[in-house]
């Protein structure tokens, strides 16, 4: 079974991607690096939260600390580019 993607949808996706990159003031590779850093940080924080759920004595504030750090990273990275 073959699937075909409507060329209109591809064009719309590219336009939305460009608009988003402009809105965050990043080039494609900069955006990819930021997204990967944040995504991996979220996975790391999530794993700590899961471990904390099993053993409450460990990682008591690590997951929430990670969320705060990621938030500050995104806010300062975007403000410094403007």
pLDDT of residue 81: 55
Is the model's pLDDT at 79 over the cut of 70? no
Separation of alpha carbons 77 and 50, rounded Å: 28
Task: Give the per-residue pLDDT at 77.
Answer: 74
Question: Residue 37 is encoded by which pair of tokens?
Answer: 């850093």
CA 77 vs CA 49, 51, 57: distances in Å: 26, 30, 33
Distances (CA, A) of 37 to 12, 19, 40: 27, 21, 5
DSSP-derived secondary structure for 49-72:
HHHHHHSTTSSTTHHHHHHHHHHH
What are 16-70's pLDDT values in tens digits?
A: 999 999 999 999 999 999 999 999 999 999 999 999 999 999 999 998 999 999 9
Given a cut of 90, is residue 78 above it in pLDDT? Answer: no
So what's the pLDDT on residue 75? 87
């Amino acid at each position: 079974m073959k699937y075909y993607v409507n060329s209109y949808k591809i064009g719309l996706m590219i336009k939305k991607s460009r608009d988003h990159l402009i809105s965050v003031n990043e080039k494609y590779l900069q955006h990819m690096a930021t997204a990967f850093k944040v995504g991996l940080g979220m996975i790391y924080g999530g794993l700590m939260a899961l471990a904390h759920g099993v053993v409450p004595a460990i990682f008591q504030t690590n997951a929430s600390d990670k969320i705060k750090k990621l938030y500050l990273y995104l806010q300062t990275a975007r403000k410094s580019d403007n």
